[in-house]
Amino acid sequence: MSTETVTITSLGAQGDGIAHGSAGPIYVPFALPGETVAIARVKNHGTVMSTSVASPDRVQPACRHFGPEGVGGSCGGCSLQHLARPAYGAFKRSLVIAALKSKGLEPEVGPLVEAEAGERRRVVFAARRTEKGLLVGFNQAESHHIVPIEECPVISAGIFARLEAVRTIGLAAAGADAFRITVIESLTGLDVAIDGVKQLSDRQRRDVTEAVLKLRGIARVSVNGEIVIEPQKPLLDFSGIRVAPPPGAFTQATVAAEEAMARLVLDHVGKAKRVADLFAGVGTFALRLARTAQVHAVESDEKALKALDHAGRNTQGLKPVSVEKRDLFRRPLMVSELKTFDAVVFDPPRAGAEEQCKELARSAVKKVVAVSCNPLSLARDLAILVGGGYAITGVTPIDQFLWTPHVEVVATLVRR
């Protein structure tokens, strides 16, 4: 380890400050462009010891757990609380611009749709049994150390208010190893999904059940995907359509971001009469689209697909929604199958939808909406579509993981 003084020139893709040394870039967490900092350096990683010149974009962090002086350690949930909002928005937008440019694409990228504090309705906690009870919090960056949280300005008040209940339930299910607790705030209460523990003993199952029956505001508890107790079916609201997700289901992290994405999707699809929603999940877009169009929803997760199908069949006023269980990475919809659709929406995992885009590029589908949580894979997929004759008509970055380097993107395309 060596000590040296460096000047930060830019922010990296993970939100670390970057300085340039004789041996290459040095990554310095919690430092901002324009700052001069003394660092303790190990290889290409620097830890701030002191700051002699501070950035005008530096602001007071919102949480006591943030930064190198964070209470209990440096919580790894956020990396950008110290960056003023205008610069923060420009940084996230720049991630999308840079990703697109790397593939030769230079469409106009809209301003960031901002997230606000207290909006996160889906949270994944790290947990471990200790002598004092259950430790619940977030892992320190690049570490297995769990920082116990005494406050969190990101997560919803409804989740934070019931954190003690989550601890009680988690303790009843805990073994010797660390595990995850995913909490979704639903209309009927918290949906608590515990993963990474050994199969529950009869006593543990009884303890979890008794704990939930004594607590308020818990809709369901599942362990490793199996429902242990469900006092009320958890329900999500997709613009007036109620959906009961399976345990541990993927949902958008905030309602505000979900609604912003849905508006962009619906506006672009417009009056299309037949739409394919690929990687449809529990129906975030498919069910909303079904108010005006026939929808074919394709998803590999059978439980998610069943939730979507049930909601579609039991909501009045929707057009027909057909469902298909299919691994779109291995079996994308082919050109011959795409010819019946006026529009296609796809929202894949981080890996993107490369094979599906190759088929879309050869198709005659008039409108496409690409939704992504990874600007790099999105840029690759858009380049395939543009190469096949599509024109990008809009790119909108959306922030739903506040104070992190993650950014959602909705891109709209039409066939030229």
Q: What's the pLDDT at 3?
A: 86
- 298 token code pair: 């394709």
74 band by pLDDT with thresholds 50, 70 and 90: confident
User: Which residue did the predictor score with more confidence, 142 or 416?
Assistant: 416
Q: What's the pLDDT at 142?
A: 79
Is the pLDDT reported for residue 182 higher than 90? yes
Taking the alpha carbons of 199, 202, 205, 207 in that order, is the dihedral positive or negative? negative
Q: Coil, helix or strand for 6?
A: strand
Buried b (16+ CB within 10 A) or exposed e, 208-240: bbebbeebeebbbbbbbeeebbbbeebbbebee
Is the pLDDT reported for residue 226 higher than 80? yes
pTM to 2 decimal places:
0.94
Taking the alpha carbons of 96, 110, 77, 169 in that order, is the dihedral positive or negative? negative
Q: What's the pLDDT at 285?
A: 98
List, for residues 369-382, the tens digit of each pLDDT value.
999 999 999 999 99
Q: Coil, helix or strand for 350?
A: coil
Tell me what the mean pLDDT of segment 156-177 comes to. Answer: 96
Q: Is 114 annotated as a binding residue?
A: no
Is the pLDDT reported for residue 337 higher than 80? yes
Q: What's the pLDDT at 122?
A: 97
Is the pLDDT reported for residue 275 higher than 80? yes
- Nearest one of 60, 13, 18, 22 to 35, comparing CA atoms: 18
| Helices and strands in the chain: count of H runs, count of E runs | 10, 21
* Domains, the chain, ordered by start: 1-58 (2.40.50.140), 90-116+251-415 (3.40.50.150), 122-233 (2.40.50.1070)
List, for residues 241-267, the tens digit of each pLDDT value.
999 999 989 999 999 999 999 999 999
Q: What is the distance of C-alpha 206 from the center of its chain?
A: 33
The residues, ordered by sequence, that sit 6+ positions from 415 with a Cβ below 8 Å of its Cβ are: 364, 365, 366, 367, 389, 390, 391
Q: Is 279 annotated as a binding residue?
A: yes
Is the pLDDT reported for residue 16 higher than 80? yes
Query: Which region holds residue 66: left if phi is over 0, alpha if psi is between -120 and 50, else beta?
Result: beta
Residue in 63, 75, 152, 373 annotated catalytic: 373
Beta strand spans in 60-160 (E)? 122-130, 133-139, 146-148
Q: What's the pLDDT at 414?
A: 98
Q: What's the pLDDT at 416?
A: 93
Is residue 373 annotated as part of the catalytic site, yes or no?
A: yes
User: Which residue did the predictor score with more confidence, 306 or 21?
Assistant: 306
Q: What's the pLDDT at 334?
A: 98
Q: Is 125 annotated as a binding residue?
A: no
Q: Is 81 annotated as a binding residue?
A: no
Is the pLDDT reported for residue 62 higher than 80? yes
306 band by pLDDT with thresholds 50, 70 and 90: very high
For residues 32 and 17, is the Cβ–Cβ distance under 8 A?
yes
Q: What's the pLDDT at 21?
A: 81
Is the pLDDT reported for residue 206 higher than 90? yes
DSSP characters over 275-314 = EEEES-TTTTTHHHHTTTSEEEEEES-HHHHHHHHHHHHT
